[in-house]
Structure 1
Amino acid sequence: MKFIPRNAKRRDLLKNIAKASALLFLGPSQLAFGAKLLAVRMWPAEDYTRVTLESDEVLKVSHQLLTNPHRLVVDVEGLELTNTLKELVAKVKSNDPYVSQVRVGQFQPRVVRLVFDLKESIQPQLFSLEPVGSYQNRLVFDLYPTVANDPLMELVRSSSKKSAALDLEDPIGAIARKEALKQDKQDKSNKDDSAQTSDAKSPYKRLLTIAIDPGHGGEDPGAIGKGGSREKDIVLAIARKLKEKIEQEPDMRSYLTRDGDYFVPLHTRVNKARRVQADLFVSVHADAFVQPHAKGASVFALSQQGATSTAARWLANKENNADLIGGLNIKSQDKQVAQLLLDMSTTAQIKDSLKLGDAVLKQIGGFAKLHKKHVEQASFAVLKAPDVPSILIETAFISNPEEEARLNDVEYQEQIALAIVKGIRSYFAKNPPVAKSRQI
């Protein structure tokens, strides 16, 4: 028998006691083998509801859809049930269009089951995102409705009173609009979903559609100021004020690409504007720069020839990376999307965008400091609608502490919104809108 000194036995005993004591202070997530869950998030919206599980390792997942009632069952491997995961239950909001509740449980050792009780049939997209920015690995569930919402019909319904008022004011125009719509329905050979325009100036009044695009949202907070202000929150507040002011115009209607805190991919923002046959596209931002003393509002249009300044190029690259932060499902994108982001700009669109940008910039310069006194250009992906004049407005630099405070000021937000509307009105006064054969 091997002899073990008494002192050695005592050391081993003390080590075992230390290990046991340490285990008492470890939580369930630390005791679990495999991935560690860092956070759970849920982003409900009319377009879709997104659920995100963030972890220190890549998670494996399988899912199945059940009916009567509608449910989505998701099994996540490599996880133990922890308090962090249980938080998902409380994150379901009563106004979520698609999820009524979530149930979580330990289905098998190291396999957690999530059951989403659904309000209607959905088409889920499940995908993983690699670490980027402040995020580690993310497992994303995007729950889309089986029948997608039609933004144009929704816009038509919400603006029906304005349309009727214009018809009473301009009965000849009303007949022309109806004839154009009738002709369009009879044209079976036209398979292009985009809004086609004629070369002639409109001989009658019609509603002008302004697409308002609040930058960032959801998983993508945008730039963050020194005081903790998030770009996505500020620009949504400004966009809503802009919408209110446009709706006060008798011959204008507005459409928000997002009206809540959720992520919208860049190409989807462009597609939304085209689907509602927008006359103009205005993307609202409050970005940051590497130097905290950078200040002043800016207006940008698209460029096919490269950026007009180093700062413009830097900002464009930063904005174009929004899809990486927000979480784009690359596998779901097709060739048409790639083409849209790469080569759908036109010379005419850029020319009109510069005119619009100049009109808006002059109005903003009437009360606020400008970063540049002319419209800058860069290759912003969100400005690449071929048939919609599009501008991107940097309302101020959130990275500048003074301007961050100004961006949070309701009065400044109101001034910015009013200046944009005045700029739009000035643009249309010099560039009357053309008749749209598919205008509703």
Structure 2
Amino acid sequence: MNLKHTFFTCAVTMLLLLSPNTSWAANQLDSVRIWAAPESTRVVFDLTQAPRYDSFSLTGPHRLVVDIQDAGSKINLDKIANNSSIIKKIRFSTPPKKGMLRLVMDLTKPVKSSLFTLPPTAPYGNRLVVDLEDAAGGSSNVQQSVSRSANQSSRNIIVAIDAGHGGEDPGSIGPSGMHEKRVVLEIAKRLARKVDSTPGMRAVMTRSGDYFVNLNKRSELARNSKADLLISIHADAFTSPQPRGASVWVLSMRRANSEIGRWLEQKEKHSELLGGAGEIIQNSDSEQYLAMTLLDMSMNSSMAISHSVAGDILRDLDSITHLHKRKPESASFAVLKSPDIPSILVETGFISNPGEERLLSNGNHQEKLANAIYKGVLRYFENNPPADTLMAKTTNSSNTKHNVQRGESLSIIAQRYRVSVSSLKQANNLKSDVVRIGQTLVIPRA
């Protein structure tokens, strides 16, 4: 009987050793998460230890094979949620040697893959991340959002809206477990609907669901959509629960200068940034100073517009929430770095503050925040519409006009229409405060 028992034990042990997903290994695969974006997919393997891994691709059919050394798993891959258009399924396969865990991704098309590890960061542990992107590229949904009016003579103002974090990156986490990525996506969607409902304006979103978009890709999506403005929406956090309030950030001058240097080194980007002039400059090293001048002018213009829009938004945020910073602040946030696109980052409040976490998760407050951001953006573009836009055409044709009467001064007229004297002078190209009876003045929008 003892011999039979010993034989049975040995047989079971051998079966475990031969199993392709042995669970006794030092490193355990605890779960698999699939984050699908419109044109890419991120797969995250959660492990108990930092993995040692290798990968290779196969064709006929298309597959990506991932081998993890000294690993095992008990999970059922058939129950993994999968909404990816790139991945058919993920399955275990027999490894080439004992102690290895082999995972196979059956794919719908050829892909470009990128694999890297991430250390434990709450709420996650050790991770192996696999990013898959359509090898053929394909047109972006964002690019298709650029549109013109019916007669093609005027275009829409394009506002790129970036909901921070997403997918594997939850952003900051509030005291009750609220994830920043979810809050800011809701606010971004509300803002996009308001922009889209405005004649002469269109919104494009860098992400429309719970998936991560590379920081460089966010700026690229905005550029491909020919955005007039990029707004990145976030929720702040601190190590203590006391700080609260909203703030608006623009790119720091130090980061701006370093970005100009980086763009100058990438000559293939000159044409993209500078139009036809770039084609000439990139072929002549002796004319790099001209590229620097043009890029510097582009960056200065973008930063001036960013600062102005930021100020307008703060005015409206001040009416619906506490402000942590009453003036636009500058920082080196990566999403703000494009020299050719005015860009701002809105911190809608401190999710680490219990009171503000409750507000940020409230739909009514999200709507107020979205409306405040929208009003600030709309006010700026109504007063400063790009010349080739439908809003510029509409604004110019619908300006209020005033005939100066006896006893009226520029300050009295400005007060009557609730505009500043300086805006009146600018709208009418006036060099002084002197007006004459019978003179017709264009009244800018308040």
User: Normalising to structure 1: TM-score of the pair?
Assistant: 0.70
Match of 1:215 in 2: 164
CA displacement 1:298-355 (0-9 Å, x = unmatched): 1111111589xxxxxxxxxxxxxxxxxxxxxxxxxxx859x99xx9982222111000
State the distance in 2 between where 1:30 and 1:134 align. Answer: 26
Q: AA paired with 2:68?
A: V
Match of 1:383 among 336, 340, 348: 336
> After superposition, where does 1:52-131 map in structure 2 within 5 Å?
52-80=44-72, 82-84=73-75, 86=76, 88-93=77-82, 95-107=83-95, 108-131=97-120
CA RMSD of aligned residues (A): 2.9
Match of 1:288 in 2: 237
Task: Describe the shift of the 1:375–1:73 C-alpha distance in structure 2 as closer, same or farther (beyond 3 A).
Answer: same
Deviation, structure 1 residue 218: 1.5
Runs of 5+ unmatched residues, structure 2: 1-12, 14-18, 257-264, 271-294, 390-446
Deviates more, 1:119-128 or 1:221-230: 119-128
Match of 1:301 among 250, 259, 270: 250
> After superposition, where does 1:143-182 map in structure 2 within 5 Å?
143-151=132-140, 154-155=141-142, 157-158=144-145, 163=148, 166-167=149-150, 171=151, 174-175=152-153
Match of 1:141 among 112, 122, 130: 130
Is 2:390 the counterpart of 1:402?
no
* Aligned residues with identical type, % of pairs: 40
State the distance in 1 between where 2:203 and 2:321 align. Answer: 25
State the distance in 2 between where 1:147 and 1:31 align. Answer: 38
Match of 1:428 in 2: 381
Deviation, structure 1 residue 131: 4.5
Is 2:215 the counterpart of 1:266?
yes
Deviation, structure 1 residue 118: 1.4
The answer to whether the 8 A contact 2:142-2:224 is kept is no
Task: Describe the shift of the 1:111–1:347 C-alpha distance in structure 2 as closer, same or farther (beyond 3 A).
Answer: same
Runs of 5+ unmatched residues, structure 1: 1-22, 176-204, 308-334
Q: AA paired with 1:141?
A: V
Match of 2:174 among 225, 229, 248: 225
State the distance in 1 between where 2:180 and 2:116 align. Answer: 26
Match of 2:199 in 1: 250
The answer to whether the 8 A contact 2:143-2:224 is kept is no
Match of 1:316 in 2: none
Tell me, what secondary structure is at the counterpart of 2:236?
coil
Match of 1:275 in 2: 224
State the distance in 1 between where 2:234 and 2:56 align. Answer: 39
Is 2:315 the counterpart of 1:362?
yes
Task: Describe the shift of the 1:133–1:246 C-alpha distance in structure 2 as closer, same or farther (beyond 3 A).
Answer: same
Deviation, structure 1 residue 50: 1.1
Tell me, what secondary structure is at the counterpart of 1:423?
helix
Deviation, structure 1 residue 30: 10
Tell me, what secondary structure is at the counterpart of 2:44?
strand
Task: Describe the shift of the 1:433–1:214 C-alpha distance in structure 2 as closer, same or farther (beyond 3 A).
Answer: same
Task: Describe the shift of the 1:410–1:133 C-alpha distance in structure 2 as closer, same or farther (beyond 3 A).
Answer: closer
Number of residue pairs matched by the alignment: 336
Match of 1:192 in 2: none
Task: Describe the shift of the 1:384–1:56 C-alpha distance in structure 2 as closer, same or farther (beyond 3 A).
Answer: same
Tell me, what secondary structure is at the counterpart of 1:396?
strand
Deviates more, 1:346-355 or 1:122-131: 122-131
User: Normalising to structure 2: TM-score of the pair?
Assistant: 0.69
CA displacement 1:97-136 (0-9 Å, x = unmatched): 1012111144342122212121222122222334556544
Match of 2:35 among 32, 43, 65: 43
State the distance in 1 between where 2:146 and 2:224 align. Answer: 16
Q: AA paired with 2:162?
A: D
State the distance in 1 between where 2:353 and 2:110 align. Answer: 46
